[in-house]
Structure 1
Amino acid sequence: MIEDKSKNESKDKNKILISAKNLREAIKTAAEKLGCPERNIRYQIIQNPRYIFFGLWSQSAKIIAWKHDALNMHVAEALRAASDIDGHISTELINSELRLTVYAPIGRGIPVSFEKVITNLREYEPDELDEEKVRDLVNRADGKSETVGRISKSGGRDGTFSIDVSKDGMEAYLTLFPPGKGGRKIDLEDIIKGLVREGIVYGLKEDIIKWAISENRYNESILIAEGNSPVPGADGRLEFKFRKDLHIIKLKEDEKGRVDYKNLELIEMVKAGDILIERIPSELGEAGKNVYGKESLPLSGKDVELPQGENIKVEGNTMLAGIEGHVIWSTGKVTISPVYYVKGDVNYSTGNIDFNGTVCIDGLVEDSFSVKAGGSIIVKKSIGKCKISAGGNVTVLGGILGRQEAEIDIDGDLVALFIENAKLKVKGNLITSEMILHSNAIVGGEIFLNGVRAALVGGSVTAGRDITVRSIGGEGTSRTSVRAGVKYKYAVKQLELKEEMARIDSIIEKIDTAIKQVESNKETSSDYVNTMKQLITRKNQIQLHLKALREESRTLENEIDLNSAHASINVYELVMPGTKIEIGNTSMVISNNIKYVTFKKLGVKINVMPYEGKSIE
């Protein structure tokens, strides 16, 4: 078979080959070259990009792209729609002759029916009507006009009208038909009589009827009466007797700009039997009425369920505390969490704490101890190099002194005076009024440092949403990395992969060292061949595992690239040179001091613009 190249060239002449570092940039380039919006680009992937590390791509993305012609598509659609047209008729009265023309349908259109044509002709009230000729014209549908009846009375036929009512009886429509030459127009009295005859008595629009008559609005379906639909009653609702926003930390400052951590109002205590919620039942609505004047039953509003969680009692429409404890509103349920109080420090006198509720510690948490709570944790002094885990919020009034070993894992928000040398995983927001020093943090929500010394210095922080600080970086310190717009689950998975790949690299390094040692002593080794075989086999297995981890890491990078949230990094005062700024997978390193600035990702680049973040005191 010989290929017709001229046809293929004509077919593909509007297609172009694009090569770029990633798919998104390839689509953008194609749109620029083809002169159309990105949404009109259609493409075929020839080669997927491959990502290594730190913004380096080992293999570019290649696509064949072409412009999707929306205009031609709409034209074709219009032509297709026009290809299916129902059959129709035209009638005219010439002297006393009633003439009929029947047109055939087009495409899959529906032909006119004999009964519909006869009904239309009888509206002229002819003296004679040749129904057999009418049937013949309907069957032929050839577009030829012929006489099918005669009207001998003086003057033309009078105007007529029809009234149609919707199936639910809520709307009535009027259609006026014009009189013949010399015939009488329909007037308001005719319409009123017709409405009475049909039993339509409610919701009449007399002004509309008068307008249709005066303006000769013939052959239009016009709404002239409208009933009232039944109005649903008010839905049931809940009246909360406690603050639902206790999980939202509201920092208050004194006249000197210092945050008041002593009166955070994070815990609302209740006693057994205290009322938590009153349910207000739904109400009965208003009855409706159709155009015939018939009433319909009123509708009741929707009832609402009481959000009963653990340690809750319900009496009728009232929800009460079942025990004394701390009120928690979470995942649409109200629960009462028991509170465990530590009057002093967490140390050898208390041991580690594991409590399925809220923990309040009057003192500090000493080094090497752990506190685990199903609810929130309040520490009125400081936390040392220890492990903290909470299902709710954690507040540390005296700050965190991690000494490279503190590990904090929180499902809610973390509020602290400062954080130093700690590892943090926080699904909610992270708020401090002073520095975060040489710490590594993954935060699902927002990072907000609000205070005179609110700075990020050293370490790495990642946030799912915005990051707002007074300053970033410091002279003579290790690089500070600040990353926004990465979902919590992606950031955690990326850290796990990085740590596992580092562990595997370390194992491979040890195997290589062992291979060299065995190789250097092969002459004195009694089992050289078997030992080398075991080491090489093990190394190959480990390398295959490392290859799979790297592939998973590249896939994750692509996921982050496609799902990066719209986030910004806001610096109220100064960004120091050497700071690494990242939004999603896009990064830049600051080379000079920058002041009062916001970083945002636009397209495939990070833009530097005037400060747009929250006010910092």
Structure 2
Amino acid sequence: MSDQGFELQVRKEGIFVKILPDEGGSLAEIAAYLRERQIEDYDGQALLKALQERPAEPVRIADRRPELDRPAEIQVQITEDALSCSLRILPPLGPLPWPSVDALKTFLKEHGVVEGVDEKALADLANQKIAKQWVRVAQGRPPVHGKDAAIDYKIDLHQLRPRDVGESRVDMRELGTVVNVLKGQELAEKTPPVAGEEGITVLGKVLKAQQGKDKNLPSGSNTVVSEDKLHLFADADGHVSVKDGKLHVSPLFEVKGDVDYGVGNIQFVGPVLVKGAVREGFEVHAGGDLFVEGVVEGATLSAEGNLQIKIGVRGIGKADLQAKKDVNCGYIDQARVRAGGDVHVGEAIIHSDVGARGIVEVLGSKKGQIVGGKIQAGQEVVCETLGSEMGTRTEVSVGVLPELVEERKRLSENLKELQGKMAEVETNLGYLKKLESGNMLDDQKRGLMVRLTKAKFQLQAQLGMINDRLKALDGEMERSKLSGRVRVRNICYPGVSVTIRGMTYVVRETQRFACFLVDAGEIKVKSFE
């Protein structure tokens, strides 16, 4: 019998202890074990010496007293959930037998353990005389809970899919993505619920299992459910939205209030109308025009057409607005704005980063002020007031926009790469055509010639698109060079820097009714008109 790095041996000559090498064991552990076995009259000095020297032979620490002989003690440990039971055997003192398998079984029954008994574990305990170690001898079966019915959305709208965040709750921010569908397209599929299986404890108590709950397909307007109730289809062409947990197919997209947690992010291939505000952190992407009747906070907006914001943008440094065409807005405060056309603002542009390929105009009111931030325009910047009495740093740049230069550079690199590929394809085709003319073209080379011919047509198409875009960029950049100017109808304050075609003019004195333009190779200040 061994435990904690020592063996206790009971002989006729006395009680001996053997300290096992390199297996730990301490005086306190051995003393506690001796007290547990009611062996109190032992030689502490001999025990301490044995621990220090760890001799190969057992050391006698006490007289043998037959009246202390006792049978093995079986201890039981059942987990709180009653799914596991372990036994530990304290060996007998004196010439008494080790518990048999039958004795262990009887012990278990006396303690109510009737299920999941491990016959092999009991045999190991009895035959190998495993002492003072907890050994699992019975294992219950936990219940297998059923699975609720699940809805698998077949359309690519991860944000539209209700995302559970708790019992009967969903993340409302992720319910607003717009996805176009066609009539008859599958929207969702239901997986039926799965029944649960009961479990049982080692004490024979049945553990009930939770049964899977059923749920209906989220069928809303302009949708239809299949006969087997497992599939949901669109019953009309349109875009999908979520309302009251159901999928609806609508031909038009309109937000009657604010874009917030009640609506979620919006992404639609056509025009979008928001009759309220767009709150901080939300996104609206329109494939056509985008019109917002309220305020835009720190949100992200993009439009393939025009972007019109009736009131204005209160961006708090987080708003990002982009439009392929024009941007029209009441005011812009701490926002980033990019327009493929013009930017027209009524009241003011304040501490913002605004860029337009055409004109940036702030003339809709007597204030008409641009103050702080950076303004870039391909053709012209015009306003009532530029800068502020406080000398706020305000940068205005007109002429060729940096993004146009970067796009032209990227396209030129792509053009060179494609031209190299085209030359390689034409060389290989020329070789194959020579083989063909001499009737030396086998099936493998003929297939290669077909693939190369197809690749040539694809490269020609790509080269044509790039050349057309480069020609358009060159024309736009040339027009920007001819028309770049900054006009201030009222006051331009010191602290403003004006850059035109790479040249910079820093305003050091208040200017009135001024027009900044390039004349004779330098920026000059002339009259507004």
TM range (shorter): 0.3 to 0.5
The normalised TM-score by structure 2 is 0.39
The normalised TM-score by structure 1 is 0.33
Q: Which has the larger radius of gyration?
A: 2
